Amino acid sequence: MTANQVLIEKLTFRMLLRIVLGFLCGVRALATENNTAQQRPPPLLLVSFDGFRADYLRRFDMPNLNHLYSQGVLVEQLTNVFVTKTFPNHYSLVTGLFAESHGILASNMYDPISKKHFRTSNDTDPMWWSQAEPLWLTALDSGYKTAAVMWPGSDVTIRNRTATHFFPYDSKVTFEQRLKNVTEWILGNKKEPGVMFAALYWEEPDGSGHRFGPDNTTAMQKALKEVDDNIGLLMSELKRTGLLGHVNVLITSDHGMAQCSEERLIRLNDCLHPDNYTLVDLTPVAALIPQKDADVIFGILSKCHKHMTAYVKNAIPDRLHYRNNERVQPIILVADEGWTIIQQGNKLPRLGDHGYDNSLPSMHPFLAATGPSFRQGYRTSSLQSVDIYPLMCHLLSVPPRPNNGTLYQARCLLADETCWDVPLVVGLVVGVLLVLSTLTVLIRLLSYRRSSGPRAFQRLQIDDDDDDDPLLE
Ligand SMILES: [Zn+2]
């Protein structure tokens, strides 16, 4: 091959590579340009319907919710955080942290440093919440007003601050009343600008799930009809106030629900006398402080029931992110899906429960979103619930606090973001490399064929240069 042919081949390869890279960078640059062009972001409303198990979406007719995500996005399942309880997961949604990092580890806790006890009915001591900072506080630092309505932790003074507007928890306040306050706060008035971030909490379908069990189709149909009516109310209220299409709305939940049964009870007293331990939390994840020989107590509990797994604190699996906090007790017991841990007797406390391993689909909630920043009619199978926090910070242009989430996957939900489908990109790169290789081979072949014609003539011309050719020796 002549020097010219080699040069042409190199130039062709570089040109094609530049075209591919140019295409990739161009799309990215376009996305960045779109982002910076946006001045003040739309307000963000985060709504949680407690205990909304992901598969309710398939099992029950929910026309209003269906309409909402058909014009926006749907994440069919969220992988939430362990333990799959209300308080830990609601705090994860607004901090992007696993329970071990934000410190709200369960519905009942004991802090060995302060020697204090936490109950969901007695939760307003700031020390429990101050290991993290929820978005309704972080957004204040960006000059925004915020609101949090009955969201766990919203009526607590965390790190000496609260949201601009909040309510103490009161289950008697209807969804409509909570909603009306939120829309008024978002709208603002002459004296005060509207809030940029609002979090709104509603207790259903969790209450019905506990009372009737998720397998009770009739009862759950009724509960979900009410939830769907509330979503309808939300959309008509946004329309009435002129906010529809100008607000980003996230609808999500904290956890799912599993069916429990009197046939699936685990009695701790059958294995160990209660004098041996102090019980901090009971089911489906029990937290115990051994009062006697810890190794002996753990040995007994680990063999207690085939549907219950015992862990000493430092052996809790990494994937649960439930070890590195002083509020995790020395021994935890995790019941299998649908099993209930009790101390004694035959009474099943609830027909439905949650708190189980967060890898179980029955524990997963969902995410639906709509608004000017979201794609329309986009659907994806899963997302980590800790990824919602960086997504919300991005939507509000609020610098996020350190967190366990990432925007990488969540950006696929956004209208003006480039979303790289990794297998597609790998396929594209492999395809381009194959085309380049094929072109290189073709160019070589063509060069060879072109040069093989006049070769005899050339050889006659350049005999002197071929001294080292063995054929000529
Ligand atoms: Zn619950």
pLDDT at 208: 98
Task: Give me the active site residues, please.
Answer: 86
Contact (Cβ atoms closer than 8 angstroms) between residue 360 and residue 268: no
CB atoms within 10 A of CB 347: 9
Residue 169: both structure tokens together: 């928890």
36: left (phi over 0), alpha (psi -120 to 50) or beta: alpha
Distance 281 CA to ligand 1 centre (A): 14
CA of 50 to the centre of ligand 1 (A): 7
* Distance between CA atoms of residues 40 and 242, nearest Å: 18
CA distances from 340 to 2, 212, 264 (A): 80, 15, 6
Residue 434: DSSP 8-state: H
- Mean pLDDT over residues 228-246, rounded? 98
Confidence of residue 14 (pLDDT cuts 50, 70, 90): low
Residue 395: what pLDDT? 98
Q: Can you tell me the distance from the alpha carbon of 153 to that of 140, in angstroms, rounded to the nearest whole number?
A: 16
Tokens at 249, concatenated: 């709305």
> What is the C-alpha to C-alpha distance for residues 178 and 237, in angstroms, rounded to an integer?
12
pLDDT tens digits, residue range 358-399?
Answer: 999 999 999 999 999 999 999 999 999 999 999 999 999 999
What pLDDT band is residue 447 in, cutting at 50, 70 and 90?
confident
Q: How confident is the model at residue 10 (pLDDT cuts 50, 70, 90)?
A: low
Residue 25, pLDDT above cutoff 50? no
Q: How far apart are CA 135 and CA 155, in angstroms?
A: 14
Residue 32 predicted with pLDDT over 50 = no
Phi and psi torsions of 379, nearest 5°: -135, 140
**Dihedral pair phi/psi, residue 396, rounded to 5°:** -95, 0
CA 194 to CA 176: how far, in whole Å?
19
210 Cα: distance to centroid of ligand 1 (angstroms): 7
| DSSP bridge partners of 48 | 201, 252
379 to 44, 60, 258, 382, 423: CA distances (angstroms):
20, 18, 25, 9, 17
Q: Is the dihedral of CA 102, 105, 108, 112 positive or negative?
A: negative
Give the separation between CA 15 and CA 204, rounded to whole angstroms. Answer: 59
Fill in the amino acid letter for 234: L
DSSP for 68-102, written as a single string = HHHTSEEEEEEE--SS--HHHHHHHHHH---HHHH
By 3-state DSSP, what share of the chain in percent is helix, strand and coil, each rounded to 5? 45, 20, 40
pLDDT at 8 over 80: no
Could you tell me what percent of the chain has a pLDDT over 90? Answer: 79
Helices and strands, number each (H, E), in the chain: 14, 18
Beta bridge partners of 187: none
In this prediction, residue 65 has a pLDDT band, given cuts at 50, 70 and 90, of very high
CB atoms under 10 Å from CB of 448, counted, come to 12
| CA of 225 relative to ligand 1 center, distance in Å | 19
In DSSP terms, 369 is beta-bridged to 73, 250
Do the Cβ atoms of 332 and 277 come closer than 8 Å?
A: no
Query: If DSSP codes are grouped into helix, strand and coil, which group holds residue 59?
Result: helix
Query: Could you tell me the pLDDT band of residue 30, with boundaries at 50, 70 and 90?
Result: very low
Which pairing describes strands 331-335 and 308-312: parallel, antiparallel, or unpaired? antiparallel
* Cβ(368)–Cβ(292) below 8 Å: no
User: With 0-12 CB in 10 A as exposed, 13-18 as middle and 19+ as buried, what is 397?
Assistant: middle
The Å distance, Cα 82 to ligand 1 centre, comes to 14
Q: Provide, rounded to the nearest whole percent, the portion of the chain with pLDDT above 70.
A: 87
Span 152-176, mean pLDDT?
A: 96
Report pLDDT for 198.
98
Q: How confident is the model at residue 200 (pLDDT cuts 50, 70, 90)?
A: very high
**Ligand 1 center to 416 CA (angstroms):** 36
